[in-house]
Amino acid sequence: MPPSSLRVVYAFAREMHPKTSDVFIQYGTAGFRTKANLLEHVVYRMGLLAVIRSRVKNGRTIGMMITASHNLEPDNGVKLVDPDGEMLEQSWEEIATRLANVSDNDLESTTEQVIKQVNADMSLKASVFIGMDTRYTSPRLAAAAANGVIALKGTPKEFGIVTTPMLHFCVKCRNDNTYGTPTEEGYYEKIVGAFKNIRDKLPVYGDYNTTLYVDGANGVGGKKLNIIRKSLDGELDLNLYNLGGNGGKLNLNCGADFVKVSQTPPVGVEHAPFQRVASLDGDGDRIVYYYLDDKEKMHLLDGDRIATLLASYVTELLRASEASGLRLGLVQTAYANGASTRYITEELKVPVSCVKTGVKHLHHAALAYDVGVYFEANGHGTVVYSKAAKNAISKIAQEGEPEQRKAAQLLQNFIDMTNETVGDAISDLFLVETVLRARGHGVRQWMEAYTDLPCRQLKVTVQDRNAISTTDAERRCTAPEGLQSKIDELVAAYTSGRAFVRPSGTEDVVRVYSEADTQEAADKLAAEVAQAVFDLAGGVGERPALPA
């Protein structure tokens, strides 16, 4: 494309998606995320970038998802999806940030610079898949995305309202047709189809019952489960709550993030003692389970718990299929409960790696294993399988001894049920249900595996959260001076104490995490560390108080 045709980039910007704010915005762990009314020009520009990225990838399809995940309704966001369905390559985050922040007047020349810098052949075709969540600001932003794609002569394809993982799945399928069909129906066919395929292999028995309650966070995940529900023929009886009607607000006092962080049940859900409930987040890429006991006390089964459940079951099947030489490993972040890490290493005897927060880090580390299970404690995670693992399992499924074959065939269903591109609440829900059904387990047996250490998360607002630097997968901080030694000193006073702080990648806050042997102790330790952050890292507003 000759440079003169870039004039249209400016024309679209000025006439339709002008930059109306000077607030600096950064492509973080989950793309750009802020108040929806600050985003239109940003999303338009990401449409431009998606086309450039597609051309750099030889015309392979790139994804754009309009969502702010678990944030409340007034926020929105955009993230780019790379050709294999993974998050945008990290080195492009800086380019995205630059393009998002230049003035409209400099947009044409900056676009030209970017094209040169990444050596994009602008004569190639370019394809961009666009999806959005249920926010009322999403359609407008999706239109801005499509205009960005059109401005650089790419071809946008709009998927309308889909979960984030559905969009990742479609991008992957479009670029690799062995993975599936790149449509919402193709997703149901593969993932839900695999769940239906286990019905004869795994009869319902023991304490497992087929009723599952779901908190849909008033977002897109619940809506899609409502479509799926009708096709399940009693294999799973979904009772769906918080589907977005009846004045329910997106993520407000409900959804996976609320349940995990507040450790309280969501509003809008009926409860029965020991009935398992799955809680999704607003764009359907996170899931946690919980139940209330007969005293209405809540018990949380979070991402760590899901990871250990899946890893132990896959280990069992690998053993039964006698697939030798395949390495299974688990990837966590510093937020993983210490008790889960101990259980994985000492009881499951599965290797664990700890990486920095952010799915891209987990995903990358998981690829080092033949079967890599990764989960953030907040319920974002999935399983990835190497080519070698898939081939070996497929061979045994066809040629093995009867018992081996049976296990390998179950593994194949398990693999098909997994959305390997990214954490996926719907896919994870079917994986969890499969394991519980295979074992004849209810929530109590699942909970018995290990006992979580009480923990607490807090946020502290500071002048500049980037004043905090971390090392060792964010478990220790190197700046500001004196903070780590203060944290060490505070932690030392607690039994089974652990604490760390890090700047959030999605909110303008510093996050504090603590663990200790009792909830009171964890709460107190978190508050003390929050005070230390406030004092040593330039706290703003009121100094955090210690618990009464």
Q: Residues annotated as binding site for Mg(2+)?
A: 69, 281, 283, 285
Name the residue nearer to ligand NG1 (CB basis): 384 or 407.
Answer: 384
Helices (H), 347-482: 359-366, 387-399, 402-417, 425-439, 443-448
Among 21, 26, 29, 155, binds ligand NG1 (CB under 6 A): 29
Closer residue to ligand NG1, CB minimum distance, 252 or 509: 509
**Length in residues, the chain:** 548
**Smallest distance from the beta carbon of 147 to ligand NG1, in angstroms?**
26
| Nearest residue to 34 via CA among 83, 68, 70 | 68
Q: Can you read off the two tokens belonging to residue 400?
A: 């093995």
Asked if 376 is part of the footprint of ligand NG1 (rule: CB under 6 A), the reply reads yes
- Residue 285, contacted partner among ligand NG1, Zn ion, none, CB below 5-8 A by kind: Zn ion
Report the site for ligand NG1 in 309-338 (rule: CB under 6 A). Answer: 335
Which of the listed partners (Zn ion, ligand NG1, none) does 439 bind, with a CB threshold of 5 to 8 Å by partner kind?
Answer: none
Q: By CB under 6 A, is residue 357 in contact with ligand NG1? A: yes
Binding residues for substrate are 376-378, 502-506, 511
Read off the tokens for 432.
Answer: 């969890």
- In the list ligand NG1, Zn ion, none, the entry touching 450 (Cβ below 5 to 8 angstroms by class) is none
Element (H, E) at 518: none
Q: Which stretch binds ligand NG1 (CB under 6 A): 225-233, 336-344, 376-384, 475-483?
A: 376-384
For helices 483-491 and 519-536, angle between their N-to-C axes, nearest 10 degrees: 160
Stretch that binds Zn ion, among 131-139, 197-205, 285-293, 303-311 (CB under 5 A): 285-293
Give the range of 111-119, 151-159, 375-383, 467-475 binding ligand NG1 by CB under 6 A: 375-383
Q: Does 356 bind ligand NG1 (CB under 6 A)?
A: no
| Choice among 4, 5, 21, 69 that is catalytic | 69
List binders of ligand NG1 among 61-80 (CB under 6 A).
69
User: Residue 472 CB, nearest distance to ligand NG1 (Å)?
Assistant: 17
Member of 283, 376, 433, 452 binding Zn ion (CB under 5 A): 283
Distance CA 109, CA 99 (A): 10
Closest C-alpha among 70, 51, 71 to residue 61? 51
From residue 55 to residue 74, what is the string marking binding to Zn ion with x (rule CB under 5 A)? --------------x-----
507 is a contact residue toward ligand NG1 (CB under 6 A)? yes
**285 near Zn ion (CB under 5 A):** yes
Query: Annotated catalytic, 21?
Result: no
Q: Residues 6 or more apart from 252 whose CB is under 8 A from it?
A: 72, 73, 218
Two tokens, residue 213: 């309650």
Give the separation between CA 178 and CA 184, rounded to whole angstroms.
Answer: 16
* Peptide linkage before 156 cis (omega within 30 of 0): no
Q: Is 137 among the residues that bind ligand NG1 (CB under 6 A)?
A: no
Query: Which residue, 281 or 474, is less far from Zn ion as judged by CB?
Result: 281
Given ligand NG1, Zn ion, none, residue 197, with its beta carbon under 5 to 8 Å by kind, binds none
* Distance, CA of 152 to CA of 62 (rounded, Å): 14
Alpha-carbon distance of 355 to 121, in angstroms, equals 35
Which of 474, 363, 467, 381 lies closest to 427 in space, CA to CA?
381
| CA dist., res. 249 & res. 245, Å (int) | 8
3-state secondary structure of 540: coil
Task: State how far the alpha carbon of 5 is from the alpha carbons of 57, 111, 152, 167, 414, in Å.
Answer: 21, 12, 8, 30, 49
Report d(CA 365, CA 353) in Å as an integer.
8
Distance CA 375, CA 391 (A): 25
Contact call for residue 511 and ligand NG1 (CB under 6 A)? yes
Comparing CB distances to Zn ion, the nearer of 260 and 364 is 260
Q: Is the peptide bond before 480 cis (omega within 30 degrees of 0)?
A: yes
Alpha carbon distance 243, 214 (integer Å): 9
Q: Which does 382 bind (CB under 5 to 8 A by kind): Zn ion, ligand NG1, none?
A: none
- Judged by CB under 6 A, the residue of 111, 163, 321, 506 near ligand NG1 is 506
The dihedral region occupied by 206, where left means phi > 0, alpha psi between -120 and 50, and beta the remainder, is left
Q: Does 351 bind ligand NG1 (CB under 6 A)?
A: no
Residue 69: CB minimum distance to ligand NG1, A: 5
Q: Which residues are annotated as a binding site?
A: 69, 281, 283, 285, 376-378, 502-506, 511
Query: Which residues face 280 on adjacent strands?
Result: 287
Q: Are 371 and 383 in contact (CB under 8 A)?
A: yes
Report what 302 binds from ligand NG1, Zn ion, none; CB cut-off 5-8 Å by kind: none
Handedness of CA 423, 31, 227, 216 (dihedral sign): positive
State the nearest-atom distance from the C-beta of 70 to ligand NG1, in Å. Answer: 7
Main-chain dihedrals φ then ψ at residue 368, nearest 5 degrees: -75, -15
| Cβ nearer to ligand NG1, comparing 82 with 370 | 82
Which CB atom, from 60 or from 502, has the smaller least distance to ligand NG1?
A: 502
Contact between 380 and ligand NG1 by CB under 6 A: the answer reads yes
Which of the choices Zn ion, ligand NG1, none does residue 251 contact, using the CB cut-off of 5 to 8 A by kind? none
* Minimum CB–partner distance for residue 335 and ligand NG1 (Å): 5
Residue 170: both structure tokens together: 């479609």
Q: Which is nearer to ligand NG1, 179 or 335 (CB)?
A: 335
The footprint of Zn ion (CB under 5 A) covers 69, 281, 283, 285
The footprint of ligand NG1 (CB under 6 A) covers 29-30, 69, 335, 357, 376, 378, 380, 504-507, 511
Catalytic center residues: 69
